[in-house]
Structure 1
Amino acid sequence: MKIDIKKNLLTGAALCMAALSYGQDSLPPARVPFDGMNLGWINGQNRNTDPSLLQLRDKNGETILTGTVLVDGYFNYNFARPKDNTQTISSSMGRTNEFQLNQVSVGVESNYKNAIGRLWLQTGAMTPLVQEADGSVNRGRNAGTQNLKLIREAAAGYHFNVKYGLNVEAGIFMSYIGLESYVLQENWSYQRSMVCDFTPFYFQGARLQFYPTKNFKTELWLLNGWQTYNSWSKNPGVGNSNYWRPNENIQVVANFYYGNDTHNAGDTVLSAVHRFHHDNSFVGRYYHNGNARGISQAAFSLNNHYGFQKGPGIKPRDNYMAGSSLAHRVWFDRNKLALTLRADYVTNPGGYLSFVPAAAAAQPNAYDKAIAAGKDLNIKQFTATFDVMPSNYVTFRLEYVHRNANIPYFAGAGGTTSQTGFITDAPDASWLPDLVKTENRLIVAVNFRL
């Protein structure tokens, strides 16, 4: 028998090259991380785990694009009835005693032939609460929140069939910090916990996601900064996120961030303020009987945060944030009803992550005076949330919120805008924002999601 050595060498080389080329149709299908797990019950996750309604497929049945639609609105009643109808100390909602369309979002995403593409657009009352707090756009020119604020998430990348997956992406992403989601429909409560409200909701940069096993994911991030479109300095921030799900009923998460953030007045180096942040969480479901007319599920979540910043004249012991949030949720009637009780606490000496309760007035208000005197900001929050979920696509939510701070921090009846409540009426010399230590609210919300 005659053997064509040259031909066999070429064939072998071609097979080797094919084996090294990830994403080719001739290779076996990639292994899927967390395969077979329904994770829709987890705090911070979309409960609708069936994406098949808005899918475009090719002639072979492979998914090309998956679409998503979200509409969320609320009525937030603040018992203090601020005259300017402004809800303070919340990135979840910015108005009170009014009907508000909080978030509208549409988008598509794809992992077709291993090419990753994602574009989610957004608008609504919640958008400026988050994006317009980005002070990094004041550094240099050709920058501004208007450039990107209507993009909730946009990314491009590639999926490599290594182990259970290796993804490389760049773009704008929803934040990996914290347990609760930027999308309120995904959380067990409408008003976020204080530890999550004080941390980022988006990052711009690049990430590498690696799934070494079916049950574990780790991510490495390079970021412009702490919830910024631009950078505060010449150096990028770095991050790390880790998810472990040994089974469908347990999730353990640990996240880390380090970067040069904020501008220290008078500093010309622009790298003097260093920020570190860490959060970890445990979510566990200890009962599950999805067909039960009574209790059908029961779970709890614990989310802990710690971080600090340091620099010239900025000491970590006077500028740190620590807090925890503990929530317990019980589902009823085949998961169509749910009751969540949550308690959370945060301390933020120096107030470097906390919301500013009012615009600066002619003279220091009660909060400014307390912080200037060196008092630590301590906040306690309790929420009780009742959900009615007739389908996976609609949620009706009723929620009671009680909050208490050790210094005047929440909006009182006089509001936080001006003596008339209108931003066009400049405050007179004697007017000060009306700040109180306690807040009580009742929220009614409805959302639709495909």
Structure 2
Amino acid sequence: MKKYVFTAACLCASAMAMAQENVQPAAKVPFDGMNLTWINGQNRQSSSPLQLKDKDGEVILTGTVLTDAYFNYNFARPKDNTQTISAATGRANEFSINQASLGIESNYKNVIGRLWLQTGSMTHIVQETDGAVTRGRNTGTGNLKFIREAAAGYHFNYKYGLNIEAGIFMSYIGLESYVLQENWSYQRSMVCEFTPFYFQGARVQFYPTKKYKVELWLLNGWQTYNSWSKNIGFGNSNYYRPSENVQLVANFYYGNDTHVAGSNTLSKVRRFHHDNSIVARYFKNPASKGISQAAFSLNSHYGFQSGDGIKAKDNYMTGTSLTNRVWFNKNKLALTLRGDFVTNPGGYLAFVPAAPSAQPNAYDKAIASGKDLKMGQLSATFDIMPNDLVTFRFEFAHRNANVPYFAGSGGTTSQTGFTSDPVDPTWLPDLVKSENRLIWAVNFRL
């Protein structure tokens, strides 16, 4: 999310009594003994204080409380206070609640149950833009956008674990998480911003060995609650952790997506996407008041779509993100530096830079002519983490593109900056090629 969070369901072990002795067999726990809280895209909390246990000490329910707020200063000061080309921040030059979330999770007696509710500005950016809900009736984003994740399933004590689940999940594609508290930077890399944050469907998770996990997914579509066609999408995810200090990931997606406007047939547009990542910690001294640990992550993506007159050579996406993070003072301070790059000919995954009712200027003409959209980003992030419950974050981000793509001082909504005012037919959104921002954020997680 990117985005998949390793849950306690993966830690269930066989509880069958031994045939000859009244003792429990040794548990087979995947990634046993590994502290993975340092990894980019993972929750840095090693335990939760919100737990309900039975009389034998077995956990029945685990609770989650999350609040994330930010102030995003865009140096362009767009008159409509709208931050564009970002799923992490939707507003500029004002305080915003990005995400408020409550959740419960149960893995009691091998039964998997999960319900995480959410609200905040990210739901408007991500969930409310799901166009697949326009296919048919008895559907819509209104009844689902407040659910961050909901799933039901069962854990089988086979090898190191076998889980079968169905519901709404955070996406497995990409390194960085939908939950910003779990990432090394606040503004995600663009390779992760251009890819899904949620899926609706079913999955099988299998742990054949202590160090390897494989997942198979059946999906309605690419970040959609519904399907664009009669066909189900397919996904595959692979995690290999040879030690606590290294994580290798490879993910794949294939499905029919995107409705061609005016077409009388269901979607024949086929989409393929692959991403791979390596996260490695190359220094560790947790007791040090100087540098306590250091790590890097490299996340690369390639994808394309074709069909219904769309050619893969004109509609593909490739990009990469390289990040380095250094922790100080017993992991209570951290500095993260990142550079990333995306090229997306045809703009099939790119954000729309202006209001749907407006006609973008040079960006629209460039994309319509098949010109490549190329964008680069540099960011520096400083975190203050007094404990595992709170993070104070300060970030500078610079982005540039080869076509006008980011919001300028005139904004991207209307000539007045308000959606309630009629749009002057001569008005054009103010789009520029570069952007500079300062972000201050604080998040609480219990």
**TM-score of the superposition, structure 1-length normalised?**
0.93
How far is 1:367 from its partner? 1.1
Asked if the contact 2:346/2:373 (under 8 Å) is kept, the reply is yes
How far is 1:29 from its partner? 5.6
Provide the secondary structure at the position in 2 that maps to 1:226: coil
- Give the whole-Å Cα distance in 2 for the aligned partners of 1:405 and 1:151: 34
Runs of 5+ in structure 2 lacking a partner? Answer: 1-12, 19-24
How far is 1:242 from its partner? 0.3
Q: 2:427 aligned with 1:436, yes or no?
A: no
Q: 2:32 aligned with 1:35, yes or no?
A: yes
Paired position in structure 2 for 1:278: 274
Provide the secondary structure at the position in 2 that maps to 1:210: strand
- Give the whole-Å Cα distance in 1 for the aligned partners of 2:182 and 2:169: 16
Runs of 5+ in structure 1 lacking a partner? Answer: 1-21
Q: 2:342 aligned with 1:351, yes or no?
A: no
- Give the whole-Å Cα distance in 2 for the aligned partners of 1:82 and 1:222: 41
Paired position in structure 2 for 1:375: 371
Aligned partner letter, 1:273: V
Q: Which string of whole-angstrom CA distances, capped at 9 and with x for unpartnered residues, describes residues 317-358 of structure 1? A: 100000000000000000000000000000000000000000
Q: 2:155 aligned with 1:159, yes or no?
A: yes
- Give the whole-Å Cα distance in 1 for the aligned partners of 2:359 and 2:38: 48
Aligned partner letter, 1:39: L
Aligned partner letter, 1:200: P
Provide the secondary structure at the position in 1 that maps to 2:372: coil
Asked if the contact 2:215/2:238 (under 8 Å) is kept, the reply is yes
Asked if the contact 1:159/1:168 (under 8 Å) is kept, the reply is yes
Aligned partner letter, 1:296: S
Asked if the contact 2:229/2:257 (under 8 Å) is kept, the reply is yes
Provide the aligned length of Structure 1 versus Structure 2.
428
Paired position in structure 2 for 1:336: 332
**TM-score of the superposition, structure 2-length normalised?**
0.94
After superposition, residues 367-446 of structure 1 pair within 5 angstroms as 367-446=363-442
- Give the whole-Å Cα distance in 2 for the aligned partners of 1:363 and 1:54: 50
Tell me: CA distance 1:35–1:257, structure 2 relative to 1, closer, same or farther (3 Å): same
Aligned partner letter, 2:134: N
Q: Which sits farther off after the overlay, 419-428 or 265-274?
A: 265-274
Q: Which string of whole-angstrom CA distances, capped at 9 and with x for unpartnered residues, describes residues 360-387 of structure 1? A: 4565522111111221100000010000
How far is 1:125 from its partner? 1.1
- Give the whole-Å Cα distance in 2 for the aligned partners of 1:164 and 1:373: 52
- Give the whole-Å Cα distance in 1 for the aligned partners of 2:358 and 2:285: 59
- 1:325 corresponds, among 297, 311, 321, to 321
Q: Which string of whole-angstrom CA distances, capped at 9 and with x for unpartnered residues, describes residues 288-320 of structure 1? A: 000001000000000000000000211001000
Paired position in structure 1 for 2:17: 26
Tell me: CA distance 1:147–1:333, structure 2 relative to 1, closer, same or farther (3 Å): same
Paired position in structure 2 for 1:193: 189
- Give the whole-Å Cα distance in 1 for the aligned partners of 2:364 and 2:120: 31
Paired position in structure 2 for 1:123: 119
Provide the secondary structure at the position in 2 that maps to 1:338: strand
- Give the whole-Å Cα distance in 2 for the aligned partners of 1:103 and 1:95: 13
Asked if the contact 2:301/2:320 (under 8 Å) is kept, the reply is yes
Aligned partner letter, 1:422: F
- Give the whole-Å Cα distance in 2 for the aligned partners of 1:298 and 1:23: 36
Asked if the contact 1:23/1:113 (under 8 Å) is kept, the reply is no
Asked if the contact 2:358/2:429 (under 8 Å) is kept, the reply is no
- 1:304 corresponds, among 300, 306, 309, to 300
Aligned partner letter, 2:17: S
Aligned partner letter, 2:318: A
Paired position in structure 1 for 2:74: 78
- Give the whole-Å Cα distance in 2 for the aligned partners of 1:170 and 1:367: 40
- Give the whole-Å Cα distance in 2 for the aligned partners of 1:440 and 1:60: 55
Asked if the contact 1:30/1:161 (under 8 Å) is kept, the reply is no
Paired position in structure 2 for 1:50: 47
Tell me: CA distance 1:409–1:255, structure 2 relative to 1, closer, same or farther (3 Å): same
Aligned partner letter, 1:269: T
- 1:256 corresponds, among 252, 258, 268, to 252
Tell me: CA distance 1:46–1:110, structure 2 relative to 1, closer, same or farther (3 Å): same
Paired position in structure 2 for 1:4: none
Aligned partner letter, 2:266: L
What is the aligned-residue identity percentage? 76
Aligned partner letter, 1:26: A
